[in-house]
A = this chain, B = another copy of it.
Amino acid sequence: MPNRYAYLGPEGTFTEAALRELRPDAPAEARVPCSGVEAVFAAVRGGSVDGGVVPLENSVEGGVPATTAELIAGEPLLISAEVNVPVEFTLFARDGVALGDIKRLATHPVALGQCRGWLAGHLPDVETTTVSSTAAAAQAVADPGSSFDAAIAARIAGERYGLHPVAHNVGDRSEAATRFIFLSRPGPLPAPTGADRTSLVAFITDDHPGALQELLNQFAVRGVNLTRLESRPTGAGLGRYCFCIDADGHVAEARVGEALMGLRRICADVRFLGSYPRAAGGAVHVPFPPTWSTTNADFDEAERWLARVRSGQPG
C-alpha cells in the first residue's frame, strides 16, 4: 500500500496544492483530506497516515494560529519539509451568477483578509461569511440550495467543484504566498543539504527583562541568522509569551547545535520542531559582522584548535 498523506481539506484547498508539490508522485487516493488543522495533526500522530501537510504562515496575515497551537503543545511531531505556494485568489460562482448578482460570499478568514481591498472596490455591500477553508466555501457554493452566491478560493477548488470564475486575482497583494509544512512522526531527520532551516519553540523565563534579547544572542554569537520570530501567548495569561523561531542551518551543524544547547540552558523549555531543506533553496549562510568566521569549516577548525590547546600544545 502506498504511503498516505493527510492534508487540510476539503479537496481543492491551497494545502492540497502544497501536498501535490511536496509529493508529486503520490496518487490521488493517497491524499487524505481532513477537516481542520487539528485533524491533520491527529492523523499523523495516530499513525493512520504517513505524514501531513498544513499551512504554517502567510505573508499577509502571519502565522496560522491552529498550526502553531498544535506544534507547540501535544505529542511532538517533526517538520521534515516545507514549500511556499503563491496565493492566487479567484472569485467563483455557480453558472449563471454574474458579479452584480453576488449578495452573500463565503471564504476563509485569511482569504477574506487578503481580498478586503478588492471587495471594497467591487462588492462593497456583499455579506461575507468565513468558513473553515476556501475549498469548503467553494463546496458550499456548489450546492444549488446554498445561501451563498460566491466563494473566494484557489483555482483547483473551482475546478474540483464545478464553479465558474467570476474574477481572477482578487487578492490585494499579488506577491502573497503561504508557507506549508510537511509533518512526520519522530524519526531520522532529513540529511543536511547546505541550505536548511531549523524550527523550534522557545519558552523564555519571564523573571527578568531582557530574556528575549538573551535568547536572540544565543543565535547571534554563533552567527546563526533567524528568518522568523513569532510571538505566541503561552495561554497562561496576558503578558506570557513563547517564541516560534526559524533559523538558517541544520541541527546537525555545529553552529546550530551549539546555539540550541545554549537555548536549552537559558530557557524554561525548548521544543525542537525539525531541520529540513529550505523551500527557496541555495546556500544561505551570511556571516554578520562580515569579518566573523562562522561557516561549518570555521567551526571544525576551532574544534581542532581547542583539542590541541586542551592537550597542552601551543594553539
* Closest B residue to A286 using CB positions: B209
* Closest B residue to A198 using CB positions: B309
Q: Give how many A residues have a beta carbon under 8 Å from the other chain's beta carbons.
A: 94
Mark the stretch among A13-21, A59-67, A88-96 that contacts chain B.
A59-67
Known: A213-B213, A216-B216, A261-B306. A237 touches B272 (CB 8 A): no
Chain B residues near A53 (CB-CB < 8 A): none
Given contacts A109-B109, A176-B235, A208-B289, 16 further A-B contacts (CB under 8 A): A61-B65, A61-B233, A62-B232, A209-B223, A210-B220, A212-B226, A213-B213, A218-B221, A221-B262, A223-B265, A252-B310, A258-B258, A261-B302, A261-B305, A261-B306, A264-B301
Chain B residues near A210 (CB-CB < 8 A): 216, 220, 288-289
Q: Is A222 an interface residue (CB 8 A)?
A: yes
For A132, A222, A291, A303, the residue with the greatest tally of chain B CB atoms inside 10 Å of its CB is A291
- Contact mask for chain A residues 257-292; partner B; CB cutoff 8 A; 1 contact, 0 none: 110111011100011100000000000001011011
Across the interface, A311 reaches (CB within 8 A) one of B66, B131, B177, B188, namely B188
- Contact mask for chain A residues 297-309; partner B; CB cutoff 8 A; 1 contact, 0 none: 0110111011001
Question: Which residues of A line the B interface, CB within 8 A?
Answer: 38, 57-62, 65-66, 69, 76, 78, 84, 109, 113, 116, 129-132, 173, 175-177, 179, 186-189, 205, 207-210, 212-214, 216-218, 220-223, 225-233, 235-241, 251-252, 257-258, 260-262, 264-266, 270-272, 286, 288-289, 291-294, 298-299, 301-303, 305-306, 309-315
Across the interface, A306 reaches (CB within 8 A) one of B131, B257, B310, namely B257
6 smallest beta-carbon distances between A and B, as pairs: A261-B302, A76-B314, A209-B225, A264-B302, A209-B288, A213-B216
Known: A66-B113, A187-B312, A189-B312. A217 touches B228 (CB 8 A): no
